[in-house]
Amino acid sequence: MKSLLSVIMAITCMSFFSCKNTHTYDKYVKELDSLKVVLQQSVDNFKTLDSATCMNAYSKQYTYSQFIETHLKDTVTKSVAENLQNLQSVKQGLNDYLSLRSNWLATANTSIKQLQTLSHDLKNGSANEEEAIEFINQEKKQAELIIEELKVNTETIRKHLEVYNQSLPVCENLVKELNSGVLPQLLSPPTKQ
């Protein structure tokens, strides 16, 4: 009986200690899970940008800029000049978006997986305390940087598309004037990788 009581007490103590280990990180697990949700929302928001629309805009911007550069011989009005300048100003932003979009998404998805894995490891108590705190801080910092990068890139490309859409009609009219009322066939612009 005495040995049975000892075994029961030992099992009870062990269960308290093993529970304590997983509950130690409850606060961190909640933080990581919340951060993962915010990161996923940032990815979803970033994906609302239509890459086909951006590619079409970049093709038109590239084609019309090339055409105007080789065919425009006279001066233009201030309004037309401003619209040409605006059309030219979005070139780099569209190129950056198209060439870096997949990298931005891959980095974000990797971070989501790392947050999930770390959260799972903490819930199961399979991380030692010193390493866990270090990993938690690293993953939080990385996820926060990615969230900010996606937010900035989403806002930036939306602004570029807005400027592009505002200047496009004037630029297309100029191209038509220079090309007997016809828009040239769109060229495939180079994108840096």
For residue 145, how many other CB atoms are within 10 A of its CB?
12
Give one word for 183, left, alpha or beta, with left for phi > 0 and alpha for psi -120 to 50.
beta
Mean pLDDT of 30-58: 95
Token pair of 41 as six digits: 């929302």
pLDDT at residue 127, rounded to an integer: 78
Give percent of the chain with pLDDT exceeding 70.
88
Nearest CA to 154 out of 69, 50, 20, 34 is that of 50
Measure CA 28 to chain center: 24
pLDDT digits (tens, 9 = 90+) for 79-99: 999 999 999 999 999 999 999
Cβ atoms of 153 and 104 within 8 Å: the answer is yes
Q: Which of 14-18, 58-62, 182-186 has the lowest mean pLDDT?
A: 14-18
